[in-house]
A = this chain, B = another copy of it.
């Protein structure tokens, strides 16, 4: 099988058979000495070639004056020389035919315009020579399976990571090292670690794409400040989703100051942070707010079980803990469903003092006969049908006499249910925790954090179960050429895409308007039509309530006069004659274009809801019906559509359909539309559909 070029070079970068190190230092504590030290300590499987013109050996390894002197072509070169010497090193790599190079040094794009110029020059040399680059300004990579440490992070000083099904990719070297260290502390093995720094070539998206294809990876932790190629990022996330690789993301820059700091830090265009939220929601990426949360969720993913349902069983030794866990479950959307009555009776017979509904409070009595605890858990999993179970055991596992019996009892209770997630809240020494983990349990020190992590797993399951998200149904459309469009022209395009409008007519003189109104019926609405007048009401360009032929002809003349008066230069297409709007709930649907991710569809209720209360939601286009339904469910004012104050429930099915149609239209025209506004859209009672009263479509200027 031929590998796509990208995957092949990523393979070289993460699984090299030989390594050269430019500027390798004999001092193992220096930045330029650490990679060699780590490679030696970890027993890297292949040959190592230090490049150092001043020494014959470096840290005991035979050194070479130049790369050209090395007897074979190394797969990877680590470039640990100052920025000023990097260009030559990259040229040497190209000349030797090296596959990939890692540039550690800073002083490139992040340091200003001069640095950016150097970075671009280096990148061009590499690209022309078929050399893939990681960095510059990065902490490198590692792969403990083969002892490959192409990194100088000081976080490895005390101990090396163990291999395991976690992959880490980070734009920040320090943060990447930080979470790698924390993961190690929690006993999570890491197979691949990549920091991308300035991303002169290899970027986070490419790493994610590659990681999503590795069989030895069960979960990916990522840190992102900003993305330049939105499409590629999206494709990578979709690939991870399809391959059932959960991505646990720390995307920073949500705050204004944070965003500013991020862009000064990486000199990268961050894009709108809110867009990332929606993107992650769409592709089932878990966005963590804190490092703890990121670790918790990744840790929970390592078992590879993603519960389809959200039913949570809770078993505790203390009533108080049960209440606390129930509160957390509600907060995170898990259902602490009661046990069936029959099962409750069974439990009560086992443990007469227990509270048996769910949460099940066995009280500390259960510790007197561990067999009862085992039976209790088995009954809960069997007859309660819980997708996951949280047990609260506080410091009991750390009590010498109880630790092992308790573990075995829980093991026994869960034995017949290997597909369920069992998370235990317990405070114990590390070796005790490892024992419990070996028995297949997730261990947390904080029950609420356990619940939060379990809830994240159910969202992964939901995302993994969905259809392909990126298909655009619209056939390759006729591009919309630049220049403003009138309301009529916009409606024509959108109507062809399935958007329902009123039965209207464009009239070019008073008599035609009158005839149209007679045909459409009274009372009616009349609007000036011009590609040059975006906001008609501002110039008095709309007259409502025309009630007979004479008033229609009058209104025609008035509108033309107003347009001529306010905008004498405007091209007038005529006057639109429409029936009065039907009754329903007013909503607004819009499209705007994110510079990184393309068109996003916005939805909210009309009137004060969008304008004053800012009660809106949006999604990147395209998306499917279930996303559209989720959008409708997200706005705070959703009750307005459910039939508030005695009104009939609105036709939300039609609304969801509309959102999908707009999204597909916008996606098909991703390169040639700047904004679309359907404002208002009247959603009528269930079964009666909806109708957009007005449409504004602004093509992109630069097309």
Query: Hey, which bits of chain A sit against chain B, CB under 8 A?
Result: 29, 106, 110-111, 154-155, 157-158, 170-175, 177-178, 181-182, 185, 223, 225, 250, 252-259, 261-262, 264-266, 289-292, 316-324, 326-331, 336, 353, 355, 357, 359, 361, 363-364, 394-396, 398-401, 427, 445-449, 608, 611-615, 636-637, 639-640, 644-645
Contacts and interface: CB of A to CB of B under 8 A. Distances in A.
A455 to B, nearest CB: 13
Contacts of A171: 320
Given A319-B172, A639-B613, A359 B327 contact: no
A261 B321 CA distance: 10
A226 to B, nearest CB: 10
A254 B178 contact: no
A326 B636 contact: no
A291 B447 contact: yes
11 contacts: A110-B319, A111-B353, A174-B321, A181-B427, A182-B427, A257-B329, A258-B330, A289-B328, A292-B446, A608-B637, A613-B639
A255 B327 contact: yes
Contacts of A320: 170-172, 174-175, 223, 225, 252, 265
A217 to B, nearest CB: 23
Contact of A613 (B265, B316, B317, B636): B636
Nearest to A615: B636
A645 B318 contact: no
A258 B326 contact: yes
Contacts of A252: 320, 323-324, 327
B318 A257 contact: no
Contacts of A178: 318, 321, 394-395, 427
Nearest to A640: B612
B446 A321 contact: no
A183 to B, nearest CB: 11
A672 to B, nearest CB: 33
**Chain A contact residues, majority secondary structure:** helix
B395 A155 contact: yes
Given A258-B326, A262-B323, 8 more contacts: A155-B395, A174-B320, A181-B394, A257-B326, A261-B319, A261-B361, A265-B361, A292-B292
A291 B448 contact: yes
Nearest to A402: B154
Residue among A110, A252, A262, A640 having the largest count of chain B Cβ atoms under 10 Å: A252
B254 A327 contact: yes
Count this chain's copies in the assembly. 2
A448 B640 contact: no
A355 B265 contact: yes
Contacts of A394: 155, 174, 177-178, 181
Contact of A265 (B255, B265, B322, B398): B322
Residue among A250, A291, A326, A357 having the largest count of chain B Cβ atoms under 10 Å: A326
A645 B324 CA distance: 44
A394 to B, nearest CB: 5
A323 B225 contact: yes
Contacts of A157: 395, 399-400
Contacts of A644: 608, 611-612
Contacts of A265: 319-320, 322-323, 355, 361
A270 B384 CA distance: 27
Nearest to A637: B613
A157 B175 CA distance: 38
Residue among A259, A265, A427 having the largest count of chain B Cβ atoms under 10 Å: A265
Nearest to A643: B612
A330 B612 contact: no
A175 B318 contact: yes
A633 to B, nearest CB: 15
A566 to B, nearest CB: 20
Contact of A330 (B110, B177, B255, B363): B255
A177 B364 CA distance: 13
A355 B257 CA distance: 13
B257 A330 contact: yes
A250 B321 CA distance: 11
Contacts of A331: 254-255, 289
A252 B447 CA distance: 13
A45 to B, nearest CB: 27
B254 A177 contact: no
A295 to B, nearest CB: 9
B448 A290 contact: yes
A364 B250 CA distance: 22
Contacts of A29: 401
Contacts of A353: 106, 111
A291 B446 contact: yes
Nearest to A226: B323
A675 to B, nearest CB: 21
Contact of A645 (B110, B355, B611, B637): B611
A228 to B, nearest CB: 17
Contacts of A396: 154
A538 to B, nearest CB: 13
A396 B154 CA distance: 8
Contact of A174 (B255, B261, B317, B449): B317
Contacts of A185: 427
Residue among A29, A291, A324 having the largest count of chain B Cβ atoms under 10 Å: A324
A173 B361 CA distance: 14
Contacts of A290: 328, 446, 448-449
A11 B637 CA distance: 54
Given A320-B172, A321-B172, A645-B611, A253 B223 contact: no
B256 A289 contact: no
Contacts of A106: 353, 363
Contacts of A336: 255, 257
Q: List the 5 shortest-distance A-B pairs measured between CB atoms, nearest first.
A: A172-B320, A174-B318, A265-B319, A255-B330, A258-B326
A265 B448 CA distance: 19
Contacts of A257: 326, 329-330, 336, 359
A112 to B, nearest CB: 11
Contacts of A449: 290, 292
